[in-house]
Chain A
């Protein structure tokens, strides 16, 4: 703080800025504070301002304009808490240094010091400026002699009121700050002086104290009984403020009753004595409320309503004497405050008759010709959000209160003479009545609200159709139509004439196409679907020779679909000849695009081909060609995705860029994680070639799956792709069969890639883990020899291996189940001669053209000697590994 003053003094020595310079500087600052602060003068503005406040060369009005700036922009001048603290200190110093003659500076200085502390977040027990300001304010407010001259007596009253306001603002920003002064404030209220600021401060401090104490589960602890005055420099009771600090309290309850707050207050345990004191304090405030200005009365009621709501033993009947007086006034704030009480206390304060009376007063206020329109509109809002004692409808939705019958509403219905806002507000009410009207279905009565609604809408459409009328008229008509469609979606009897009326409007004024498109985008299918159909008819049934072609095309791009194809295409063909400029051609192509998406085929292809030849603009021709190619090459669902809105497109990109990005996303193959898992299933030894059985585990739904395989080192002939139309997770899948054509008999690895379409239509590509093909997976049996000739057949094969091939012997260890189990599990299909359990002759065909013959004879408990022959010596090491592997596998 000392540093702050020091800097200020240093500045003083440089000489103050002149009045003109300040005026110009303040003007620039106000024009754009951010620009000013970023400029060269920004950094020192706060410091200069504080130092020049003490300059004797600047006039009071200039200084007041400096203070006014500090009242509005403290955050810019002193951006952090230490700076704010220093500024507040400097302002207080300036205040006490003022000579004792009358000065217009005292008041703004008090306000500025308060603002700097509160807005700068510096207010607190460790802040020296706070410790000076608070007792000073309290002393001024209570009219005590401060032991120091604060200007002449004539100024005291103004300063007193100002001090109260400063205290209230500080209490607002730091709830509980004045909790320790409640008793003192009460005492003062009974005496002479300014009733209003004191009442408001007391009500606020009382409410805050109640909430804080309730949270701490403490009582009022004698807070309402008078205590000692805090003195300047002396200790200030920060206890409540510290507790309240973390929870800035709404000064008015949010609506409907903030349950949480209510519960908290309900926990407040007041002793009978405390409850009596509290009631007395509230009654005292209410009794004097008549002396307050209407806006201040309203503030008091909101605060007290909030303070007493949910508090045990505090019946709201205290408010009752005020109500009749309040209900009679035309004052917006007062009626609003009564509604707040109604919401807070409901039946406890308003009987059914009271509620009806309040509703009537509200209704008449909402239509009273003597009140300003914004007030009437707000009353109408209140009427549709009226806090009923026993609401029937869902909370949070606008509805006509139960007691508000159509008789009461008669004066609140819309007419074409109303201004747009009033018309829409009243139209909403009319719609709500129509809902009820349908429920009641008053037959035989001609002038039902519904008929009136229809005429009103017709009038709005007639105005919207005016040539050269302002856009606001069109907007209003569509807003009204939207409102009706939303409120009365379930009433075809309303929507049908609306649909036809809108079609007529389009016929009269096609330039409203953007409004129609917007409406179609926003209404539900109840109006949207039939409207789409009639608008399409409206467009295509007319020869496209008028000026409105641009609008027709824009309209058609929104409403064209698979229906009425030939009429649509006919219209487009006729239009194509007249689409001479780029914009029209693009509009035409937009319609083609919409038709492509809708899956329109044949005729469209012809049209696109024609456009690709005939359009003048090369860009248009390119587009037409592109669409044609897409149409010719992509299937329908794919087309839909390709032409659908692109998620990748930034909002500002042109439609063409967006479109290209859409294509890029939709037509390019995307890299993706594998949607399936493949594994090699049990070996099936039959047929002319070895076939892998692939087991599929589906992770995501895929369409048009194509699996591509690549054989490592090309040991087998290239493999054909496997196609699967559709795979769904959780649905059983058949194994995929993959025939192999080995170029030599050897194990290998297959690299696998998957190409597929996602349910959203994107084409994706994924790499799957490689599949291992084991040596045993290549085994094939020889054709079965005739019965009885097996041994001879085997011996013949055995002999044929040599001399070209090779012979070997090896020891094959056996598991606990012996040889029989090993053979039956792994070699069964290849056995030619069997003498269980000890002897087997086995012949294996190894594609492309090798053979492997095994003699397993004289098995012992732990193993069997194997004699083997093959005509391909290269397989010998593989056989050893294979047999040992089989025996390990058991």
Chain B
């Protein structure tokens, strides 16, 4: 379950190496075990330079992807996970966990406690999930609250010390690195009996609990006979419990109104002590029926000090909040476009913002636009080949708005214009971006009665809700569009 080495590599396209090792840490006692366990199949952890080169090549992040290279491009070289084999000095280093997020590559090599030939299935290697958690933990630490490069550098400089706390010998003790940062600060507080390890200290002060429910809605709309539109709500409930006592018992409940949409696919934070089987089995996999469990969803738990994601869920609401169609007709160098959007009457008509972005890919720059909007205004970004229809805070009373126009394009010059691998030929989309505060699409809510605290003092409860669009696509109905299996099941 231990790691032999960890790396953080920033991806820097255009530089000679295309990347820099920002951080690396090796674990020699684990390496020694690897030598024994792997036997003849042992391959030592390489130095940073060769590792960087091999990893970037494998991840297709080095600039030399122009020519066919058998070791990388062969059809039989198939990766179905984020776990790779790197060819270094004629030997194959495996398994290497690696993924990129925000330009940073996170990588580690877990210990495999057996011979590597034949390769054991990944599921049998305990170090794989431990390695992932370590990398997720590092990623969470680096990007929590971080805004710019200097903040990132500060965080990177804290990493060696933090890993000395949370992973001194290659076996991860806590994936929550912030927790360890706290524990350094809390060190003077004496530990009472049976303090959870994931709780670095105790809270002193006014009891308060805050619960915030954020729902993202995504959708794929086609306006076609044979393809069904799809939409889905993904919710996350974030809590912060400032309560005295070493292990206060709290129960948080989420409720739905009578016409609310049941929560499904619920995944909870490990601090939740028990789960109702109805919560455990409510899943989007099953065909929807009326007997679905509709709450209240009770989560008994012992909260950690920091803010945490109490649970994630999905839900299938009966209608998408905004239904629309998008039609594009090609006429020589011009495109005639028509857009129609309709807000569903059940949805709160009060947006923080709402806009439709209409990009044009694989074409020349926009040279001329003629348009007519029934509501809001249209902004044109010629160089980016992008139109943004700003709808604003409210749909009109009719709840229905439309846009029509013609867009003229200049000659295509390869380098500058946006490329897209999906929008080939007539395939095109518009994407909706909106946010509604104090509202959830499922109706899910928490209120003053949602929190039971088995501790002294009644806490102040604050609750927040919001709905955000995410991947909300409306495809050109006059051309083919990418579909999911679900949308074919009519």
Contacts and interface: CB of A to CB of B under 8 A. Distances in A.
B355 interface: no
Contacts of B173: 165, 196-197, 293, 295-296
A169 B66 CA distance: 46
B80 A332 contact: no
Interface stretch (A25-33, A227-235, A268-276, A820-828): A25-33
A332 B169 contact: no
Contacts of B277: 324
A288 B490 CA distance: 50
Contact of B486 (A30, A378, A411, A474): A411
A209 interface: no
A296 B68 CA distance: 44
Contacts of A332: 129, 132-133, 136
Contacts of B83: 378
A482 B78 contact: yes
A848 interface: no
Given A330-B312, A415-B482, A472-B65, A73 B172 contact: no
B372 interface: no
Interface string B254-286: 000000000001111110111101011101110
A410 B79 contact: no
A535 interface: no
A72 B285 CA distance: 47
Contact of A471 (B47, B73, B486): B73
A118 B485 CA distance: 54
- Pick the most buried of A72, A288, A357: most chain B CB atoms within 10 A of its CB: A72
A471 B62 CA distance: 13
A589 B78 CA distance: 33
Interface stretch (A333-341, A670-678, A804-812, A831-839): A333-341
Given A72-B25, A410-B285, A425-B81, A340 B126 contact: yes
Interface string A127-142: 0000000000000000
B32 A121 contact: yes
Interface string A463-477: 100101111111100
Contact of B28 (A115, A296, A428): A115
B267 A413 contact: no
Interface in B434-490: 482-486, 488-490
Contacts of B488: 447, 452
- Pick the most buried of B193, B281, B484: most chain A CB atoms within 10 A of its CB: B484
A693 interface: no
A365 interface: yes
Interface in B413-437: 414, 419, 421-422, 424
Nearest to A464: B421
B126 A251 contact: yes
B29 A169 contact: yes
A416 interface: yes
Contacts of A455: 483
Given A374-B99, A377-B82, A471-B73, A157 B123 contact: no
Given A290-B273, A295-B174, A515-B75, A380 B80 contact: yes
Q: Number of contact residues on B: which range applies?
A: 35 or more
Contacts of A250: 37, 113-114
- Pick the most buried of A165, A288, A295, A425: most chain B CB atoms within 10 A of its CB: A295
Interface string B123-137: 111111110111010
Contacts of A74: 28
A325 interface: yes
A728 B178 CA distance: 78
A378 B121 CA distance: 11
A119 B31 contact: yes
A746 interface: no
B424 A462 contact: yes
Given A115-B28, A248-B36, A413-B484, A293 B175 contact: yes
- Pick the most buried of A32, A339, A340, A479: most chain B CB atoms within 10 A of its CB: A479
B298 interface: no
A75 B26 CA distance: 11
Nearest to B77: A479
A169 B79 CA distance: 33
B73 A357 contact: no
Contacts of A582: none
A196 B36 CA distance: 28
Contact of B169 (A169, A292, A335, A523): A169
B198 A293 contact: yes
A360 B32 CA distance: 39
B285 A408 contact: yes
B68 A514 contact: yes
B1 interface: yes
Interface stretch (A297-305, A567-575, A633-641): A297-305
Contacts of B128: 336, 378
B303 to A, nearest CB: 13
A417 B75 CA distance: 20
B232 interface: yes
A interface SS class: helix
A424 B197 contact: no
Contacts of A333: 129-130, 132-133, 175
Nearest to A68: B160
Contact of B197 (A194, A365, A518): A194
Contacts of A340: 126
B33 interface: yes
B281 A73 contact: no
A291 B199 CA distance: 9
A459 interface: yes
A347 B406 CA distance: 66
B152 interface: no
Contacts of A357: 280-281
B33 A325 contact: no
Contact of B66 (A111, A407, A471): A471
A452 B489 CA distance: 11
A553 to B, nearest CB: 16
Contact of B267 (A111, A330, A381, A421): A330
A375 interface: yes
Interface in B21-74: 24-29, 31-33, 36-37, 47-49, 60, 65-66, 68, 70, 72-74
Given A291-B197, A374-B99, A471-B73, A424 B80 contact: yes
A371 B26 CA distance: 28
- Pick the most buried of B47, B70, B187, B270: most chain A CB atoms within 10 A of its CB: B270
Given A370-B236, A373-B99, A515-B75, A324 B133 contact: no
Contacts of A162: 168
A32 B51 CA distance: 12
Contact of A385 (B123, B164, B268, B483): B123
A519 interface: yes
A291 B123 contact: no
B150 interface: no
Contacts of A336: 123, 126, 128-129
Contact of A294 (B28, B123, B175): B175
A466 B424 contact: yes
B28 A195 contact: no
10 contacts: A119-B28, A195-B194, A252-B125, A294-B270, A325-B274, A331-B133, A368-B314, A381-B122, A468-B419, A518-B70
Question: Which 8 residue pairs are nearest across A and B when measured between Cβ atoms?
Answer: A255-B124, A250-B113, A330-B267, A370-B312, A252-B126, A425-B80, A514-B68, A482-B75
Given A330-B268, A452-B488, 16 more contacts: A31-B48, A111-B168, A172-B169, A196-B173, A333-B130, A336-B126, A336-B128, A373-B82, A378-B132, A381-B122, A396-B121, A411-B285, A471-B68, A481-B75, A482-B78, A514-B68
Interface of B: 1-2, 24-29, 31-33, 36-37, 47-49, 60, 65-66, 68, 70, 72-83, 97, 99, 113-114, 120-130, 132-134, 136, 160, 164, 168-169, 171-176, 179, 187-188, 190-198, 218, 232, 234, 236, 265-270, 272-275, 277, 279-281, 283-285, 287, 312, 314, 414, 419, 421-422, 424, 482-486, 488-490
